[in-house]
Homo-oligomer: A and B are copies of this chain.
């Protein structure tokens, strides 16, 4: 049998410890699969004294992950430290510079430095593998890089952040506010103390940047992503969505349009009948539209120690089994420079919830402005105030009431200009809520 692959694990949090456990548990099966033993030989973490439930004394210990990355006892460095700079970056760079394979779950590092790291890996002739960086246990990197090799992808969209999907699912099912659900998510450990990174869409954007590169064969372009989070979504929006046959999901969407590659992260109305609409709670899902396969959807756990470790171990098994592939599916020099499609040129359907004064002519005024801009409306839904306020002979109170419009495909810039005009007309009492619609 061939030489063992010696694995060094840098970062012994939930995922790191799960990787150590899985490699021990699956030792025989992995040796059979890979044609050689796969063994942890070294580990690194900040705190050596912490009880992690496993005797780590059989592995070489490094206080400094960069030392582990340079160690002669390691062939493959697993970076699970996190963060786009600091020790994570130093560890990955040191590993590549000393000719070691790298497996990482670090989306932020890849979104920011992926291209340079891929080039370093290619030059060193080693692997840079990152299945665990996007959508946790879902093998989306392998699907895009290998399984869809014969396809031209036209669109990729997915639920890539379990925290947001958990919050939106509970808001929908229990009619709760965003703040209440966020607090519960924090209490249950589904959301961080500072939730900004998740709920404002930045985590989804990092993952999307990686998947876009793989899907379209383009250089990573994280700065091009239009990012909106879910904190503005109200229970009213979720009820309206339900009435209109939609659910609201935070999606990352990458699409090849006439103007270039469009990358966007925002709350999205998806038809209730779509596969992605069925995905509730912390589960993730990705759908790929491509010319040969048509439509492929992968659904699975997007986070958690064991599911993420499942992806890490798959990468380690690939490293042990086969010569390295180009990290982004093709050599860095053959990745295209992405043509950015500006968000103002986005075309799609829109859900627009206006808060209007409940008085004669308001709906007509709004509809007229839409017609002048040649925005076609699929439906209008007006909810009368149920309050006890005084009403005119037509049942109107003058109080603020929601007026919901669903548009057919329209250009983002046109929609925004028209909403500015409607505001200038004095028809609305609050800024509008605008949620893009994504259809299968």
Tell me if B147 and A294 are in contact (CB < 8 A): no
Contact A146 B142 (CB under 8 A): yes
A26 B293 Cβ-Cβ under 8 A = no
* Pairwise interchain contact A329-B296, C-beta atoms closer than 8 A: no
**A33-B149, A143-B139, A309-B150 known; A275 vs B299 contact (CB < 8 Å):** yes
Q: Does any Cβ of B come within 8 Å of A189's Cβ? A: no
A33 and B301 in contact (CB under 8 A), knowing A143-B139, A151-B310, A278-B278? no
Tell me which residues from 363 to 394 in chain A have a Cβ below 8 Å from any Cβ of chain B. none
Q: Which residues of B contact A139 (CB under 8 A)?
A: 142-143, 146-148, 296
Q: In this complex, which of A146, A293, A326 has the most chain B Cβ atoms within 10 angstroms of its Cβ?
A: A293
In the complex, what distance in Å separates the CA atom of A326 from the CA atom of B311? Answer: 20
Alpha-carbon separation in the docked complex, A35 to B329 (Å)? 10
Chain B residues within an 8 Å CB radius of A398: none
Q: Would you call A313 and B150 a contact (CB within 8 A)?
A: yes
A residues 316-358 touching B (CB-CB < 8 Å): 316-318, 321-323, 325-326, 329-331, 334
B292 A307 Cβ-Cβ under 8 A: yes
Query: Are B325 and A307 in contact, with the CB atoms below 8 A?
Result: no
**Most chain B beta carbons < 10 A, residue from A137, A139, A149, A329:** A149
Is there a chain B Cβ closer than 8 Å to A30's Cβ? yes
Task: Give Cα A296–Cα B247 distance, bound, in whole angstroms.
Answer: 22
**Smallest beta-carbon distance A56→chain B, Å:** 19
- B30, B149, B306: the one within 8 Å of A149 (CB): B30
Q: Which residues of B contact A143 (CB under 8 A)?
A: 139, 142
User: Quick check: is A184 within 8 A (CB to CB) of the other chain?
Assistant: no
Contact of A152 among B26, B32, B318 (CB under 8 A): B26
A190 to chain B, nearest CB (A): 15
Residues of chain B with a CB closer than 8 A to A275's CB:
275, 278-279, 299
Q: Mark A194-211, 1 if CB is under 8 A from B, else 0.
A: 000000000000000000
Chain B contacts for A33, CB-based, 8 A:
149, 326, 329-330
Which A residues, 145 to 193, have Cβ-Cβ distances below 8 Å to chain B?
Answer: 146-152
Residue A417 interfacial (CB < 8 Å): no
Assess the A310–B142 pair: CB atoms within 8 A: no
- Cβ contacts A17-51/B at 8 Å (1 or 0 each): 01000110110011011110000000000000000
* Interface status of A291 (Cβ within 8 A of chain B): yes
The interface residues of chain B lying within 8 Å CB-to-CB of A299 are 275, 296-299
CA distance A18 to B306 in the complex (A): 39
Interface residue A295 (Cβ < 8 Å from any Cβ of B): yes
* Contact (Cβ within 8 A) A310 B137: no
**B148 and A292 contacting across the interface, CB-CB below 8 Å:** no
Known interface pairs A26-B150, A32-B330; A313-B298 also in contact (CB < 8 Å): no
CA distance A35 to B125 in the complex (A): 14
User: Could you tell me the distance in whole angstroms from the C-beta of A261 to the nearest C-beta in chain B?
Assistant: 15
Q: Kindly list the 4 A-B residue pairs having the minimum CB-CB distance in the complex, ordered from nearest.
A: A150-B313, A139-B147, A149-B317, A292-B310
| 14 pairs of residues in contact across A and B, judged by CB atoms under 8 Å | A29-B152, A32-B330, A35-B326, A137-B292, A139-B143, A139-B147, A147-B311, A150-B314, A292-B307, A293-B300, A294-B307, A296-B298, A297-B300, A298-B298
